[in-house]
Amino acid sequence: MITIYPYDTTLRDGTQSEGVSLSLNDKLKIARLLDEFGFPYIEGGWPGSNPKDAEFFRRIRALNLRQATIVAFGSTRRAGRQCDHDTNLQTLVKAETPAVALVGKSWTLHVTHVLETTLEENLAMIADSVRWMKQRGKEVIYDAEHFFDGYRADPHYALQTVRAAAEAGADWVVLCDTNGGSLPGWIRQVVTTVREKITGRLGIHTHNDGELAVANALAAVEEGCTQVQGTINGYGERCGNANLVSIIPALQLKMDRRCLPEENLEQLTELSRTIGEIANMSPNPYAPYVGHSAFAHKGGIHVAAVEKVTASYEHIPPERVGNRRHIVVSELSGRGNIRVRASELGLQIKGNERAVLAQIKELENRGFQFEAAEGSFELLVRRSEPGYVSPFELLDITMVATRRGDDKMRCEATVKLRVDDQVIHTAAEGNGPVHALDRALRKALVPRYPDLAEVRLADYKVRILDPEQATGATTRVLIEAACGTERWSTVGCSENIIEASCQALLDSLELPLLRAGWAEQRTVKT
């Protein structure tokens, strides 16, 4: 089996992503996670660019990483300057890493118009810098920046640049699609040519500007590259870098290339989400392999097939990458969706699939949506069970909003509920109508059900379904409630936002009572 060496540059290239800003402690946490996951190379940053990266390389030495090689990144020497007097190279050495990454120019456009030097001097800069680092005992990864664009403009010169690095002793020559505009066919063609022209190990570094970074990286591997550079979750400048979270399982599970210990793949989803949380970036629910929806099944025909043979609509078992199958319930569902989802919740549907499905379709036709309100779906199933009795019944609501003079507007909600055989009449004020309603309901229910005092409102979302109706539009309300670490979402829908909010609130309070076995407790007390 061919071994591929994933090279993570989340801590350097990934931080160039708009919206990503990692503190020093963030970088150290991520480095430890990557090391524990088994990455052979972790690029920590550019020590010559800012004090934080310089401090990172000092602090990382004290972490006692298990196996990863830490890499410091920098450029080749400047034009017209000797290596011994080049500040950037000196700073790389001071980072005291076993390996360094040196970036050099491959494209004549950059040599003459960006560096403003000659083509001959650029070749000398590459060779001198690589040789100087090798003399100091460093493993050298040479990044041939803009190589594929440079090869298109002047193939002879582009090949000269990587040959200069290889002949000077570079341990790796990495071909970079820096602008991210290449297609897989072009990547294959160029990598094949380079492999024939130079000796030594090749790597690939792709960007996602054409949404082909992963495809281009895999194409390069098929043509002989054995190092793949990228970032976790594809973080990076502009449209991002090649996403190692997608590349690694593709290589290991589909292409028979060894990247990491097999058992570590089961932690891939957790790694992706944990690093996303550290970076304060919302997870992409549709991300391949690790997204919440990566193994979600919604269509009734699909769910019926998956229930029989999971491989019928799944390219790999989700457990291989630490993810799980997710059955979505909606108006597109079949009876299998209802049966499987109920089973996942630990409920027995008991032959009521057709009735529950019909109710869901009728409610979604009115504007309800159960994909993000699994608490309301669970209630539909529980309410379909024989002998279901609601723990409370709403009889009446009165809502009053007042504002006197320049005072802030206040709302008061009055509710009448039936709990067992008792009618309870309460009122409460709040900052707004939903706040007042929530307080009034709790005031009525908590004395009878003390556990509800621990239930809190965690999130409240409102969506207008038909904005062309202006203030008369239908409103969908989604409420997320929580008790300890447990969370559930409920939905309400109406042309009246108070009614929609009340529907979702009532469901959010009833569900924990049913889960706690309210009916059984009531029978014992009776």
pLDDT tens-digit profile, the chain (526 residues): 799 999 999 999 999 999 899 999 999 999 999 999 999 999 999 997 889 999 999 999 998 899 999 999 999 999 999 999 999 999 999 999 999 999 999 999 999 999 999 999 999 999 999 999 999 999 999 999 999 999 999 999 999 999 999 999 999 999 999 999 999 999 999 999 999 999 999 999 999 999 999 999 999 999 999 999 999 999 999 999 999 999 999 999 999 999 999 899 999 999 999 999 899 888 898 999 999 888 877 766 666 676 677 778 789 998 999 988 766 665 555 666 766 766 776 777 777 777 777 877 777 777 787 767 788 888 888 888 777 888 899 999 999 988 776 678 889 999 999 988 899 999 999 888 889 999 999 999 999 999 899 999 888 888 888 787 777 788 888 889 998 888 888 999 998 889 999 999 999 999 899 888 765 555 444 4
> What's the confidence (pLDDT) of residue 526?
44
The whole-angstrom separation of Cα 83 and Cα 293 is 51
Distances from the Cα of 300 to the Cαs of 112, 315, 332, in angstroms?
60, 18, 6
First-last CA distance in the chain:
68
* Residue 250 near residue 220, CB atoms below 8 Å: no
Candidates 233, 181, 246; CA nearest to 207 is 181
pLDDT score, position 524:
43
DSSP assigned state of 389: -
Domain boundaries, the chain: 2-260, 296-383, 393-525
Supply 229's token pair: 């550079």
The DSSP secondary-structure symbol of 114 reads: I
Distance CA 479, CA 503 (A): 10
pLDDT at 523: 44
- Which candidate, 434, 436, 399, 393, places its Cα nearest to that of 417? 393
* Residue 506: both structure tokens together: 């009532």
Q: According to the model, what pLDDT value does residue 362 have?
A: 78
What is the C-alpha separation between 167 and 158, in angstroms, rounded? 15
- CATH-assigned architecture of domain 393-525: 2-Layer Sandwich (3.30)
pLDDT at 239: 97
Residue 449 half-sphere exposure toward CB, CA atoms < 13 A: 24
Q: Which residues in 457-474 are b (16+ Cβ under 10 Å) and which e? A: eeebeeeeeeeeeeeeeb
Q: Rounded to whole angstroms, how far apart are CA atoms 344 and 14?
A: 37
Whose CA is closest to 373, among 284, 477, 228?
Answer: 477
Q: Which residue has the tokens 């449209």?
A: 239
pLDDT of residue 373: 77
CATH 3.40.430.10 is right for the domain spanning 2-260: no
